[in-house]
Amino acid sequence: MREYLLTLCITAAVTYLLTGPVRKFAIVAGAMPEIRARDVHREPTPRLGGIAMFFGLCAGLLVADHLTNLNQVFAESNEPRALLSGAALIWLIGVLDDKFEIDALIKLGGQMIAAGVMVVQGLTILWLPIPGVGNVALTQWQGTLLTVALVVITINAVNFVDGLDGLAAGMVCIAAAAFFLYAYRIWYSYGIEAAAPATLFAAILMGMCLGFLPHNIHPARIFMGDSGSMLIGLVLAAGAISITGQVDPDALALFTGSEKAAVHQTVPVYIPLLLPLTIIAVPAADLVLAIVRRTWRGQSPFAADRGHLHHRLLEIGHSHSRAVLIMYFWSALIGFGALAYSVNSASMWIVLGVVFLSAVGLVLLLLPRFTPRVPLWAQRFVPPRYRRRAVPARTAPAPAARVPAGGAVREPAGSGAQAHGSTALSELERSSRFLAQEKERA
């Protein structure tokens, strides 16, 4: 555990320290696109934050290669090299997109090529544990197609949720934390060394996100851009592929007694496989609603608008930070709820706890809809935003004084010393100007 924590801290430190210089480089390079109609921020913000995250990834892998226990991951498996190769390719595509806005089809092709590079080097799904059936081996083509599909889906899911400051990095960090705990439990409790690469990938991914978050929290000083969102999406997919397709349920049969029981025991293996799908579930629904909404209005389905999920959270009254924290809450509830269920699936307290927290999440989501009515005697004990605002009384404007030809100033009826203090000086100035004009005419 200490070596994993050391790798995490080194990755976070390198990412954090490099983000500042990368921000200055992005400003000099002109990687500051103009504000679009669908953007939430109000000032142009530099991108290319993925550069610091990529070098953090490289530093984490380099440190892990020189540690005593983690060195065996590099000696016995080619998965770290496969991850680095695919990450370098997807990172270069993201950097070009942050600077030059390349076509979406080109990015999709690059994502598929990066996934193919990892498959060629051995990072692929070999079998699937299916509950009630057992261990199902996949052919080479089936494993390749499933691996490429999972990588592309995960990359685009993370890229799609990158709409608010700190949102993508925080959600991926939470998912990586749940993934790390489960993978470490498989490796440490059962002694299955095939789970070691996935545990390492999760630790490095947490370091990348934690190191970048201080610069990306609202108000963000730099965005990760596609170079960062696609990179962390690929690392998350690589960990899911490693533990889902590489850990053999037959190894767990030694602890559970049979292969079917081992498959039931490895149902939590689907957590890292389903986490990318849970990340993309809400953005996918938002995308479908956006297409229907724009088509109904007679607009192009690709026309940008401000009707996405994060826009709606802001419109109903949530602040920028609260909207991000709400999404953090739901991501943590899904990830750690599934993790707790994997540890003890027979406990009803876990299910009841998840249901209760879901209800709490709904209340937090609808909190701006509630208008609390605080009694007058308790208003001094609550924040100002919950106090009743007194409606100011409307007063009719006082009639302006008329200046006769003789130059005498008449006061409005009902005016006193206070009226003299506020209006007498201005009226005297007007009368003096009037008399001066009359003398010039005479």
Q: Which of 24-38, 222-236, 282-296, 426-440 has the lowest mean pLDDT?
A: 426-440
Task: Give the pLDDT of residue 88.
Answer: 95
What pLDDT, on a 0 to 100 scale, did the predictor assign at position 417?
42
**Cα Rg of the chain, angstroms:** 31
| 280 residue type, one letter | I
pLDDT of 424: 45
Whether the model pTM is above 0.85: no
Q: How far apart are the first and last CA of the chain?
A: 101
- Retrieve residue 305's tokens: 């608008």
- Place 111 in a pLDDT band, splitting at 50, 70 and 90: very high
* E strands present in 44-161: 127-130, 134-137
Residue 303 has φ and ψ, to the nearest 5°, of: -75, 135
For 231, residues 6+ apart whose C-beta sits below 8 A from its C-beta are 50, 53, 54, 57, 87, 90, 91, 94, 208
Residue 304 is classified by DSSP as: -
Q: Where is pLDDT greater, at 412 or 362?
A: 362
Task: State mean pLDDT over 288-314.
Answer: 68
Question: Would you place residue 406 in the very low, low, confident or very high pLDDT band (cuts 50, 70, 90)?
Answer: very low
The pLDDT of residue 326 is: 83
Question: Is 156 within 8 Å of 233 (Cβ atoms)?
Answer: yes
Q: Is the pLDDT of residue 436 over 70?
A: no
Contacts of 28 (CB under 8 A, 6+ apart): none
Torsion sign, CA atoms 58, 62, 68, 74:
positive
Higher pLDDT, residue 306 or 323: 323
| Spatial separation of the C-alpha atoms in residues 73 and 60, rounded to whole Å | 13
Average pLDDT over residues 274-300: 66
The residue type found at 89 is L
pLDDT the model gives residue 415: 42
What pLDDT is stored for residue 84 in this prediction? 94
What's the CA gap between 186 and 191, in Å, rounded? 7
Residue 246 pLDDT: 66
Q: What is the pLDDT of residues 5-56, one digit of tens each?
A: 999 999 999 999 999 999 999 999 888 766 655 555 567 788 899 999 999 9
Longest dimension (CA), the chain: 119
Q: Could you tell me the pLDDT band of residue 419, with boundaries at 50, 70 and 90?
A: very low
Q: Are 249 and 133 in contact (CB under 8 A)?
A: no
Tokens of 309: 């999920």
- Please name the residues in contact with 115: beta carbons below 8 A apart, sequence gap of 6 or more: 86, 147, 148, 151, 152, 237
